[in-house]
């Protein structure tokens, strides 16, 4: 079960757009991440590589936690809003829920729930 201080440090890292670093610091070595009902990615190194790949395509990113954060024992649910401005000039605005199972002070399993239509980049509105 994570402490309140650990949850706040995790949220702060993500809001600083240090997503790869948050994976290094807060996930177990064999953790799994799953997007909706897709097959999970397993292993912290794979999570880190995926985050770096996404951020390499972005010109800018804004990551924001929408409070309250729900925590009950080892289960934590966080509502996130992400805004990506891609190098090609398109944008992606996503809202998701992250359902996490923690083992002590690290995330062991995480599933993201969101509308997949949000992932389609759009041209900025004039």
pLDDT digits (tens, 9 = 90+) for 50-108: 999 999 999 999 999 999 999 999 999 999 999 999 999 999 999 999 999 999 999 99
Nearest to 86 by CA among 54, 111, 117: 54
Burial of 9 (0-12, 13-18, 19+ CB in 10 A): middle
Domain extent, residue 104, equals: 4-114
pTM of the model: 0.93
Query: Assign residue 118 a region: left if phi > 0, alpha if psi is -120 to 50, beta otherwise?
Result: alpha
What is the number of domains present in the chain? 1
Residue 124 counted as domain residue: no
* Per-residue pLDDT at 45 exceeds 90: yes
Dist CA 37 CA 60 (whole Å): 28
Question: pLDDT tens digit string along 15-24?
Answer: 999 999 999 9
Dist CA 23 CA 49 (whole Å): 10
Cis peptide before 68 (omega within 30 of 0): yes
CATH number of the CATH domain containing 55 = 3.10.450.50
């Amino acid at each position: 079960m994570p402490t309140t201080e650990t949850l706040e440090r995790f949220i702060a890292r993500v809001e600083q757009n240090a997503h790869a670093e948050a994976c290094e610091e807060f996930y177990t070595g064999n953790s799994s991440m799953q997007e909706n009902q897709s097959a999970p990615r397993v292993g912290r190194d794979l999570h880190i590589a995926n985050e770096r790949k996404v951020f390499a395509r972005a010109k800018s990113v804004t990551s924001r936690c929408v409070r309250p954060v729900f925590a009950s024992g080892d289960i934590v649910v966080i509502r996130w809003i992400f805004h990506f401005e891609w190098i090609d000039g398109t944008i992606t605005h996503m809202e998701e829920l992250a359902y996490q199972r923690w083992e002590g002070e690290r995330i062991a399993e995480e599933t993201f729930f969101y509308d997949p239509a949000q992932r389609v980049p759009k041209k900025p509105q004039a």
